[in-house]
Structures are given as C-alpha cells and as structure tokens.
Amino acid sequence: MQQIIPTRHLFGPGPCNPYAEATAALGLPLLGHLDPDFIARMDRTCEGLRTLWGTKNTRTLPLSATGSAGMEAAFVNTINPGDVAVIAVNGLFGERMCEVASRVGAEVVRVDHEYGTPVDAERVAAAHPNPKVIAAVHAETSTGVVSDIAALGAIKGDALLIVDAVTSIGGMPIEADAWGIDVGYAGTQKCLGVAPGMAPFTISDRAFERRVQKPQSWYLDLGLLGGYATTGSSGGQRTYHHTAPVAMVASLEAGIERVLAEGIEAVTARHQNAGAALQKGLQEMGLELFAAEGHRLPQLTTVKVPEGVDSAAVRSYLLKNYGVEIGGGVGQYAATVWRIGLMGPNANMDSVALILASLKDAIANS
C-alpha cells in the first residue's frame, strides 16, 4: 500500500526544509560522473563553495558524505600518530572531534568549556606550547553558541586550525582565509538548505603540504580526492576516485546558487532577524534561554524546558498536531533543553509565529 508521506516543518537542529531550488535539482537528468557537463557543474559548485567559505583555496570541494565525514577527513589527513591536537570542547561536536582525533592516534589535549559558553582563545593558546593542530566548532549546534574563530586564528602560531562550520555555512559569514582557517568542513542540511549527504570542505596549501602522506582512510584521502574534484591540483585531468553522488551535487549547486543570489549579507540578516524574533518571543512567554547572552546563534536557539514540563511529550505533541519538529537537548541536557532551528528557507517570520504559537499550545496541553 502506498504510504502518504507527511510534510514537516523541520525546526530541529537539522536537517531543515530544503530550498525549493535544491529539491527541484534532484530531479534533473542524471549525468555520468565524468561527463563534461557534470565536471562543469562540479567546478561551479567548488567555486560557489569558495565564496561561501571566504577562501581562495584550490582544494575546496564537497566530500561525498555528511558533515561527520568532513570532521573525519580533517583529522585523518592532518594527524600522524602521536601528533598533539588541542581541541576546544564546548558541546557535543567538540566531544566528537576528540573521539575522532584520538582514533587516528592524536595526543588529544582537551580544553573544556562550560556548555552554553563560547570558546576562550586564551585558554586554548595556553593549553600546549606547539600543537600540530588546534580545532574548534564555529557554531555549536548542541548548545546554540557561536565562537570567535578569528581569535583562534590569531593565536594558532605554527599549528593548523581545523574548524567545524557545519551549522554556520550559509547562515552566517565565514572568512576562512582572513580568519586563518587551514582546514574547514561543513554540511549541507543546516543553513545551506540542502538535503543531508555532502560535506563542503576546504584545505589551505599550507595544510595540504603538511598532510599525512598515506592516511588510514582511502576514501577520505585528500591527496587522491584532489584529482577527482579540483582541476587546479591535477593539471586539468579528472581521474576516477569514487562515483560522485551526481544528483546531490546538482542539488548542492542549486542550493549554493540560491544562497548567493540572495546574497550572503541578506541571508545572514534573514537568519539574524528570525533568530532574534524567536528568542525575544520565547522569553516573552516566560521561557529561559540556555546559551550565554551575546554568544547566541540566531539559527539554533537552545531553550530550557520549564519545570514540570515533559520535554518529550511536548515534542510529540508538536509533531502530531502541527507537523513541527524541534530537537531535544544532548548529553546531560537531553530532557532539560529544547533546540529550535531556523535554518535555510525556515529562517523567516512565518516560522517564528508558528513555533511560538504551537509551543505555547503544546506546553499548556501536552
């Protein structure tokens, strides 16, 4: 029997509802992964990603896997066993970085921060005299906090700076070159407004020269991937490495085009305005925000579950009665924090009104 698939308002920590242009592009005629038209599409996609990353890096490409694979690629290509990795931890994704780095043999030096607070560059600088890499999350989706990446670039010294921009790309400006990011990875399903499945990635020449020569991952070996996606590093000759997810690249290209047509400034303002209106509305309802004031992400709001309210019951009520999905908290905050995303096309006042009205109902009646 045919299933009827409900439409949802995806107001959780991602995926968000995709831009219509990104969804439409999934239906384009499929091309072979070495077809000249596809190669041209891949080139345009990489060029668009350079604009979004704020970089001139030749090696800027979408990896064929989700954001976590971007994280994996960052560490597997930079860490030889025994190398020191100073990792700022202020949420789940910083924790995940420690796990990934330790599996490739890094000597991990954690710099723990209270959840809900931003990364402190001075503490990171003081953690070790000469690490091989310093790593941090730009927009911590688990806590709703933005950190100052330029401040880390200023203290990195000889270290390579690895930055997780999964939730920032397409929602707030990123200046990889100006901030001193050596390796950056992102995702498609957060503010870029594309379905999950790829990881926009960039690596500086400086980091590429110091890369691991034979990383333990064949699939994510940037030495091999260069010839697959970027003409600049292979003298124009494309070589087969793996079959590119052709349909996803088309969708990503359309999503990037959509974002750049609106303009990074306008897209940023739209996310900021929607996030500010939501945060104001939630506080007017008597709810308390979780992330430290002054460091709150507009695209991902963390709010404390009021005393006596069942977090999971509210979320089920929202889904059942409004088709609204919001996220629970992570780790020790699983039942005490909600995470509400206004990402990509959802960053608008209609979404804000729907969230505030439905949440009020759900808290009163779930």
Ligand X SMILES: *Cc1c(COP(=O)(O)O)cnc(C)c1O
Which regions of the chain does DSSP assign to beta strands (E)?
Answer: 9-10, 59-63, 84-89, 107-112, 133-137, 139-140, 145-146, 160-164, 183-185, 199-203, 300-304, 324-325, 327-328, 337-341
C-alpha–C-alpha distance, residues 147 and 128, integer Å: 20
Within 68-97, which residues bind ligand X (CB under 6 A)? 68, 93
Taking residue 286's Cβ as centre, other Cβ atoms within 10 Å add up to: 8
Q: Which is nearer to ligand X, 67 or 226 (CB)?
A: 67
**Is residue 132 within 8 Å of 318, Cβ to Cβ?**
no
The number of beta carbons lying within 10 Å of the beta carbon of residue 320 is 11
Closest distance to ligand X from the beta carbon of 231 (Å): 27
- Choose which of 14, 118, 180, 327 interacts with ligand X (CB under 6 A): 14
In the stretch 148-187, what mask flags binding to ligand X with x, by CB under 6 A?
A: ----------------x-xx-------------------x
φ/ψ of 82, rounded to 5, equals 95, -15
Which residue's beta carbon is nearest to the bound ligand X?
67
Dihedral, 172, 57, 70, 160 alpha carbons, nearest 10: -100
- What is d(CA 203, CA 226) in angstroms, rounded to the nearest whole number? 11
Distance separating alpha carbons of residues 162 and 204, to the nearest angstrom: 11
Q: Least CB distance from residue 330 to ligand X, whole Å?
A: 10
CA 122 to chain CA mean position, Å: 24
One character per residue 126-145, x = contact with ligand X (rule: CB under 6 A): -----------x---x----
Min dist. Cβ of residue 94 to ligand X (A):
9
- Rank residues 14 and 322 by Cβ distance to ligand X and give the closer one: 14
x/- binding map, residues 338-357, to ligand X, per CB under 6 A?
--------------------
Q: Which stretch binds ligand X (CB under 6 A): 42-50, 63-71, 201-209, 324-332?
A: 63-71
Q: Give the DSSP per-residue string, 247-297.
A: HHHHHHHHHHHHHHHH-HHHHHHHHHHHHHHHHHHHHHTT--B-SPTTSB-
Nearest to 67 by CA among 264, 201, 268: 201
Residue 117 as a binder of ligand X (CB under 6 A): the answer is no
- Residue 317 to residue 232: CA distance in whole angstroms: 52
Q: Is there a binding annotation on residue 339?
A: yes
Q: How far is the CB of 164 from ligand X (least distance, A)?
A: 5
Q: Which residue type is seen at 46?
A: C
Rounded to a whole number of angstroms, the minimum distance from the CB of residue 259 to ligand X is 17
Instruction: Give residues 185-214 in contact with ligand X (rule: CB under 6 A).
Output: 187, 190, 196
Least Å from the CB of residue 141 to ligand X = 3
- Among 54, 67, 153, 329, the residue binding ligand X under the rule CB under 6 A is 67
Q: Between 17 and 141, whose beta carbon lies closer to ligand X? A: 141
- Binding-site sequence positions for substrate: 339
Q: Which residues of the shown chain bind ligand X in the complex (CB under 6 A)?
A: 14, 66-68, 93, 137, 141, 164, 166-167, 187, 190, 196
